[in-house]
Chain A
Amino acid sequence: MNILKPAFVLVTLVIIWQLIIILSDVPPYILPPPFSVIEATVAHADIILVHATITFIEMVVGLVIGTLLGSSSALVLSYYQPARQWLMPILVISQAIPVFALAPILVLWLGYGMISKIAMAVLIIYFPVTAAFFDGLKNTNLGYLDLAHTMGASKSSTLAHIRVPAALPAFASGLRVATAMAPIGAIVGEWVGSSEGLGYLMLHANGRMQIDVMFAALLILALMAIILYYTVDAGLRRLLFWSPETKLNQL
């Protein structure tokens, strides 16, 4: 993989960051310089690691559960025609209420621990996965379905061998969006009420004017989100080795 370009972008961003500080003379309690953020990261590595692990688990578990729920909903929706009338309104309503507004209620019901944050992440991830996968399952090439029909395929066998694989590219784009959103669920949940996690650490450091620690937590959060995204992306590319889109992206 070409690591040079992302590294170049990163270095450029750090230089711009440093330049802003030099040129605007902004005080370090508003924007700390890159070097002191790295220093804070190293100095508080043990605490950051503990909180980062919590947030990472929330993100990953939320992503897994949200994806499983989302894809099973899409399968049910496409397999049982009547389910659409009942499930679609629920889906739409669940999206009409902003998930962030639900955060305090989730913390109230599910407690200060990880469960409420995982629930937040699941709620955010569920919809894009369901919508994208269902859309893909609905739009199977009609010719494939004709072929399966003349071959004497059952409904479930057509779903398993034709409609699901054909819908995978759509599922993949939904899952990419969901992966990018997973950290939001976890962090917002932690802001609303928690005693651990990077979101909690940021609020805590903010209250004590440890701005460099805040930025250190943010740095680690960004790193985790990037690693998660590229891991999922690499997995999807392997799954979709046959898709023209995959080849196009590799160019």
Chain B
Amino acid sequence: MKPDQNFSISITADRLAFGSVLLFEHLDFTLKKNEWTCLLGPSGVGKTTLLRIVADLVPNIKNVIAKCSDNKPLNGRTSYMAQDDLLLPWLSVLDNVLLGYKLRSKQADRSKALNLLQMVGLSSNIDDLPAKLSGGMRQRVALVRTIMENRPVVLMDEPFSSLDAITRVRMQDIAADLLGDRTVLLITHDPMEALRLGDRIHILSGRPVKFITPIIPEGTRPRSITDTQLLKEQASLLTRLSNASTLDLG
């Protein structure tokens, strides 16, 4: 059964500081329903902090407001995928995928898990410990675990950045395929990833970051890596980002 996901989320904050560093001013962006929103920016700009706040992982933050269009709270309707796969080393692949059920003491949907593991090509690894798997395989397990949570909103923090280029492209395809109809917030520092997967791309740069009109790439995700338009846009994004960071250093 699909979760009810007929809502958009607007995220606003007047200002957001981390310690004495002002990260964001007039923060305002929207996660439109069933769309992938990308936050693209260099390391250290505050992307992860922002995502963690949206995921309710930073206690005592009151000034960032995530408002859902159906007026229900966002809390409990998100699932979270980090850069680190966070597989528990003492659980098998299957048990890792079913971790959420175990933590909530609910009956696990094993057949769905087995089905998804087969779709990502891991059906022969269900009893393996994570230590036996390659980085790409581990990240696929983490992806299946995220999908098994069956939440309307998926928050992803550079989920593929530790993978090699070839595996990364394959993972992007798999994620686009399996999470295609979800509302996704994807954080990345890779312009190519943002352009392949994003429906709207917010560029985060400078300090404090100012939100400007997002880039809306054409076509449907995952956009092909051989698309010349995509490569052109990647080049222009890279230029924009590196200009911004030069200003920072200056």
List B contacts of A144 (CB < 8 A).
Answer: 86, 88
> Complex formed: what's the CA distance from A148 to B91 in Å?
15
Chain B interface residue number, banded: 20 to 34
B65 part of interface (Cβ distance < 8 Å): no
Residue with the greatest number of chain A CB neighbours at <10 A, chosen from B56, B76, B88, B100: B88
**Consensus secondary structure, chain B interface:** loop
List A contacts of B76 (CB < 8 A).
Answer: 152
Residues of A in contact (CB 8 Å), total 22
B149 part of interface (Cβ distance < 8 Å): yes
From known contacts A150-B56, A244-B131, infer whether A143 and B103 are also in contact, taking CB-CB under 8 Å.
Answer: no
A146 and B80 within 8 A (CB):
yes
> Complex formed: what's the CA distance from A44 to B56 in Å?
70
Residue with the greatest number of chain A CB neighbours at <10 A, chosen from B76, B86, B90: B90
A149 and B57 within 8 A (CB):
yes
A143 and B82 within 8 A (CB):
yes
Identify which of residues 157-215 in chain A touch chain B, using a CB-to-CB cut-off of 8 Å: 157-158, 161-162, 165-166, 168
A 126-157 binary contact with B (CB < 8 Å = 1; else 0): 00000000000000010110111111111001
> Complex formed: what's the CA distance from A141 to B88 in Å?
10
A109 part of interface (Cβ distance < 8 Å): no
B 66-100 binary contact with A (CB < 8 Å = 1; else 0): 00000000001011101010101110000000011
Shortest Cβ-Cβ A-B pairs, 9 listed: A153-B103, A150-B80, A151-B100, A242-B90, A143-B86, A147-B86, A146-B57, A157-B103, A242-B89
- 17 A–B contact pairs at CB < 8 A? A144-B88, A146-B82, A146-B86, A150-B56, A150-B149, A151-B79, A151-B100, A151-B103, A152-B76, A152-B100, A153-B103, A157-B103, A162-B103, A165-B90, A168-B90, A242-B131, A243-B89
